[in-house]
Amino acid sequence: MNQSEEIKSKIDIVDLIREYIPLKAVGANFQALCPFHQEKSPSFVVSPDKQIWHCFGCGRGGDIFSFVMEKESLNFIEALRLLASKAGVVLHYDNSQNYSQRNRLLDILALANKYYQHLLMEPLGKAALDYLLKRNLTLETIRDWHLGYSLGTETGKWDSLYTFLKKRPLQGQKYTDEEIFAAGLIIKKKQKSTGETSLRNPYYDRFRGRIMFPIWDVNDNVIAFTARINPAQEKEEKLGKYINSPQSLVYDKSRVLFALNKAKMAIKEQDLAIVVEGQMDVISSHQHGFQNIVASSGTALTMEQVKLLHRYTDNVALLFDMDQAGQLAMDRGIKEVLHQGLNLKIIILPEYKDPDECLQKKPAVFQQAIAEAQSMLDYYFSKISKDVDLQEIDNKRQVRDQMFKMIGLVSSKTEQGYWLKKISEELGFFEDDTREEFLKWSEKNKSGFQKEPEKELAPPPRANREDKLAESLLALLIKFPEFINYSVNNLEPKDFSASDLAEFYKNFIIYYNKEANLNYEDLKKYFTSLTTNASQLLDKLILLGEKDFYSYEGPQVKTELINIISELKKYSKHRKINQLQRAISQAEKDGEQEDLEKLMADLKNLTNS
């Protein structure tokens, strides 16, 4: 068993795809709206028995690897790595050329993370470890979150990590300076003279004397770091309390949510994602049992981050710091969540500066704040009307117009109506007047507040009726092979108009006559040995048969088969008549009397048959 087969044997395709989209059982299979193109009725089918999927709308299909490659925009080697991690399979690469640049960067970052973890538990990391323990993190939590420490000037060197990585080859190849730099772990020294290029080591570590927080992607790969200055050196440090990895081939901060890899299952189970600002807030929350919490890492939520959350839930709650920066980030996050059509609530901790402080002092208050989360519009109305004299007509209009901006982002017309009525009552306006003003405002501002349409991938042209009938025939024969002989006696490959279907039918008959049975694994190997397209067509036909004919029994199958064969033979006959008519016309032009007479006789026989 090779590595990809071992991975496939350990990962169920239904469980994997359910991490991305909801599946509904239909007969022996599962169906869903396709995640790769827009559609109103489900055409995406998954077979747990065959461990394959296919969309009859856009034509995509395959196994767990092809699904992940499509969904995550990965090549095969990258998908192999991702799924190996899920399956607990240790990969061994025989051909280093197949090991992509992205994978090498991920390996460098994973090794750097292990190095930082090791240093945190060494004497040189004691001050950093003591700080984390004083923040009431347990050793178990520190290890579970892979927290670490980067050496500072204690050793008199600025290149400890660089030196360590250069001594660790991968797949027989040493890491290059360019790769370590591309991973965001080192910085090139500034040139001071023409002799710079002759320096033995022109690089130094980006992170020095800092507590290291690894950042993972949703698939548990370390892709970057946030680094906090060692408290013992805080007064001397000039670069700031926190510094982060730069953007790289594997890290784009606008597309990552801290701890989503750890929180995604809890988010799915609780149908709620709570978003906070800081990494310590997240780690502390998880330690206290609140495991559906992720962090935006001090920035406002982006479109890509909200789409990540939407994989697992339709419900989001924001819990940002009460300072000015936190409130600005909250406002921007509100707009992006609503822009994507998710349900939104706001969690308020008025007596505490952040979740970590609240959890350290009164965890019960944190739990209560989650339970009492406000709707976004309740929160926003309270915020903008606080300390405002609502006896003044200009203040009333200002509050109303600010509320229009948020109400305009809500996709539910019912909720919009409720809030237009509510602000009318709160501000002392007639409801009809408020609705009229909102309609004017909406018309004026609709371009800036419409929900962004998802990019639609155009499905391939639909097959004509004849080709659809041919696919249905083949799907029936694969599902009910006891009718193959009947089909062979009544329909020939040349009766198919599509060459790929005719070739498939011919090869299918050859295989069945030789093997006298249809074992999926053997049949798959047979068609794979012919062409990749034939193998893909096999999977499509198998799922088509299970989708359209899963409840059929013997008599119903035969009736369907007779009807399809009759239709296909009519199409074939009509096609042959057209071909003869064209040949007769050409023979007349060329004056080929002998050929003309033979063609006329053939046409007469065909039309009379």
Q: What is the 3-state secondary structure (H, E, C) of 49-104?
A: CCCEEEECCCCCEECHHHHHHHHHCCCHHHHHHHHHHHHCCCCCCCCHHHCCHHHH
Helices 499-515 + 520-530 axis angle, to 10: 130
242 and 351 in a single domain? The answer is: no
Kindly report, residue by residue over 94-142, the tens digit of the pLDDT. 555 546 788 889 999 999 999 999 999 999 999 999 999 999 999 999 9
Q: Is residue 298 part of a domain?
A: yes
pLDDT band at 325 (very low <50, low <70, confident <90, very high): low
Position 231 scores a pLDDT of 79
pLDDT band at 474 (very low <50, low <70, confident <90, very high): very high
Q: Is residue 595 part of a domain?
A: yes
Q: Is residue 458 part of a domain?
A: no
d(CA 61, CA 32): 13
C-alpha distances in Å from residue 437, one per residue of 144, 383, 444, 493: 54, 22, 11, 68
CATH number, domain with residue 17: 3.90.580.10
pLDDT band at 186 (very low <50, low <70, confident <90, very high): very high
416 and 520 in a single domain? The answer is: no
Report, as an integer, the average pLDDT of 52-72: 91
Q: Is residue 62 part of a domain?
A: yes
What is the number of structural domains in the chain?
Answer: 5
Position 185 scores a pLDDT of 96
147 and 211 in a single domain? The answer is: yes
Asked whether the predicted pLDDT for residue 472 surpasses 90, the reply is yes
The predicted model scores a pTM of: 0.69
d(CA 25, CA 401): 47
Report, as an integer, the average pLDDT of 418-445: 90
pLDDT band at 317 (very low <50, low <70, confident <90, very high): very high
Kindly report, residue by residue over 253-301, the tens digit of the pLDDT. 988 999 999 999 899 899 999 999 889 999 999 999 999 999 987 677 8
Asked whether the predicted pLDDT for residue 242 surpasses 50, the reply is yes
Q: State which of 211, 228, 251 marks the end of a domain.
A: 251
CATH number, domain with residue 275: 3.40.1360.10
300 and 430 in a single domain? The answer is: no
82 and 208 in a single domain? The answer is: no
Position 110 scores a pLDDT of 94
Report, as an integer, the average pLDDT of 416-439: 91
Position 457 scores a pLDDT of 42
Beta carbons within 8 Å of 202's beta carbon, 6+ residues apart:
177, 188, 189, 196
Q: Is residue 457 part of a domain?
A: no
232 and 102 in a single domain? The answer is: yes
Position 268 scores a pLDDT of 87
Report, as an integer, the average pLDDT of 494-523: 88
Q: Is residue 478 part of a domain?
A: yes
Asked whether the predicted pLDDT for residue 350 surpasses 90, the reply is no
Q: Is residue 332 part of a domain?
A: yes
Position 165 scores a pLDDT of 93
Asked whether the predicted pLDDT for residue 605 surpasses 50, the reply is yes
CATH number, domain with residue 181: 3.90.980.10
Report, as an integer, the average pLDDT of 575-583: 83
Asked whether the predicted pLDDT for residue 47 surpasses 90, the reply is yes
Instruction: Give the domain range for residue 222.
Output: 98-189+202-251
pLDDT band at 487 (very low <50, low <70, confident <90, very high): very high
**pLDDT averaged over every residue in the chain:** 86
Q: Is residue 150 part of a domain?
A: yes
Position 587 scores a pLDDT of 80
